[in-house]
Chains A and B, each alone.
Chain A
Amino acid sequence: MPILKDFKFHSPGSLNAALALLEKARAPLLLAGGTFALNYLKKVSKYPTDVISLKKISSLKGIKAQGKGLWVGAMTAIYELIGSRAVCDAFPSVIEASSKLGTTPIRNMATIGGNIASRFYWVDLPAVLISLGASVTLATKKGKKTVALEKFLSVPPEKKYILTGIVLPKGNSLSFYFRHTKTAQETDVPSLGLAFSAVKKGRVISCARCIVNTTSSFPVALKKVEDVFNNFSSGDIRMDMIEKALLEDARATKLDDHRLHLLAVDLEKLLGILRQKCV
């Protein structure tokens, strides 16, 4: 007995052909690496009429400089992202999060576009990319547009679109990612993740962003903690100042005690790293 129910498979060679198929199909499903989408099909009764693979569209692949940032094609596999010198130099937190994503074969198959478009906010990359101020480029029958990733993930976009790439703005000279899992297995999905990014000029830190992947809600920003880090150059930041700010953020973000404890541990580590880098 077949594992998957019937659907029509398409493998267009261009973005326009894919958009035309997307428009025409009654219930389409876009296929990137397949690690989410094909698993999903094994568990649902509501089935797509058409599965459209994006694999043969070369314009969705590659990593290149774009304006003041880096454009990562949606069909770039996670292993390609990890192996990219350009990403490694400018966005170490993306490398950290990507190298903890799933297992080796999953990283060989999964794509960054599939990871984002699946809208699973509890995995590693969304919090990291939000902290970096990433945006996504989308193609629809009406044309192309760029949307902040934070907005893309929080407000469902129009139904028929193709995510073509992710734009990472350069300028955040500091980026870190800390994650925890419930077990000792690194391959588990995170139980908590903290993504930090900031601009560093000499001893001055600005534009600090602390985004927490709580895994139970959309990633949240630690606004008060960010304020403390933005005052890094004005004198010594002590851990008690960060803890106080974290408690204030906790009221707004409804983080539980366990996650708060893990965050405090991560923030202390972060403070130590920043002291080393800024002295």
Chain B
Amino acid sequence: MKKVNIEIDSKVQELEVRDSELLIETLRDRLGLMGTKYSCLEGDCGVCTVLIGGRNVLSCLILSADCDGEKITTIEGLAKNGEPHQLQKSFIEKGAIQCGFCTPGMILAAHSLLDKDPDPEDEEIARALDGNLCRCTGYVKIIDAVRDASQKINRSTKS
């Protein structure tokens, strides 16, 4: 077992994890953060996406013991004071959620994009989401939602 300090969703957690424990196992099975999903476990589908240092990464390909000292954001950490993030609102408003399984990963990947590029073109949105698969194939609505969120965030920043 290894002792690690990881900041998860702005809260520092002192955890004792198995040496071979994957981050997705720690988040879901140890901490109950169920927004991070199990699926392919090979880094292909993106449903296990979390942010480390603001960048979207795959928690099925990271050892928890290797995350000592990292700052991690899961989908549960996006809402502030009970208010959903604009990306979450836009996904709902634009009907970008069908079965919902890919949604947390899509939103976190989009969050990473908007941090770097607040006003992306549709092609850039599609490229930034290239590591996230939607099994319902609702990509058009997802891109609509990210564009909508970026416009609303930019408007609120300016005002």
Contact = CB atoms under 8 A, between A and B. Distances in A.
Contact of B18 (A6, A42, A103, A108): A6
A79 B61 CA distance: 17
B43 A39 contact: yes
Given A3-B41, A9-B63, A105 B20 contact: no
Which interface residue of B46, B57, B63, B112 has the most chain A CB atoms within 10 A? B63
Interface residues of B, number: 30
A6 B66 contact: no
Given A103-B130, A103-B131, A109 B62 contact: yes
A42 to B, nearest CB: 6
A109 B55 CA distance: 9
Nearest to A50: B19
B42 interface: yes
Task: Identify whether the interface residues of B are mostly helix, strand, loop, or mixed.
Answer: mixed
Contacts of B129: 104
A102 B58 CA distance: 13
Contacts of B73: none
Contact of A105 (B2, B42, B43, B66): B43
Contacts of A102: 131
B78 interface: no
B61 to A, nearest CB: 5
A259 B43 CA distance: 29
B41 A51 contact: no
A2 B21 contact: yes
Contacts of B18: 2, 6
Interface in A93-119: 102-106, 108-109
Contact of B20 (A4, A11, A109, A186): A4
B128 interface: yes
Contact of A3 (B19, B25, B49): B25
Interface stretch (A30-38, A168-176, A199-207, A250-258): A30-38
Contact of A108 (B20, B41, B55, B68): B55
Contact of B56 (A5, A6, A38, A108): A108
B66 A31 contact: yes
Q: How large is the interface on A (under 10, 10 to 19, 20 to 34, 35 or more residues)?
A: 20 to 34
A42 B49 CA distance: 18
A84 interface: no
Nearest to B19: A9
A2 B25 contact: yes
Contact of B22 (A11, A38, A51, A105): A38
B33 to A, nearest CB: 17
Contact of B65 (A3, A9, A108, A109): A9
B80 interface: no
B55 A42 contact: no
A68 interface: no
Contact of A39 (B42, B66, B112, B131): B42
Given A4-B20, A6-B18, A105 B25 contact: no
B56 A9 contact: no
Contact of A104 (B22, B41, B127): B127
Q: Which 10 A/B pairs are nearest by Cβ-Cβ distance? A: A103-B131, A9-B19, A4-B20, A105-B131, A108-B55, A9-B65, A103-B130, A104-B131, A38-B61, A34-B61
Interface of B: 2, 18-22, 25, 41-43, 46, 49, 55-58, 60-63, 65-66, 68, 109, 112, 127-131
19 contacts: A3-B41, A3-B60, A4-B20, A5-B20, A7-B19, A42-B42, A53-B63, A53-B66, A55-B66, A104-B56, A104-B129, A104-B131, A105-B46, A105-B58, A106-B131, A108-B55, A108-B56, A109-B62, A187-B131
Interface of A: 2-9, 11, 31, 34-35, 38-39, 42, 51, 53, 55, 79, 102-106, 108-109, 186-187
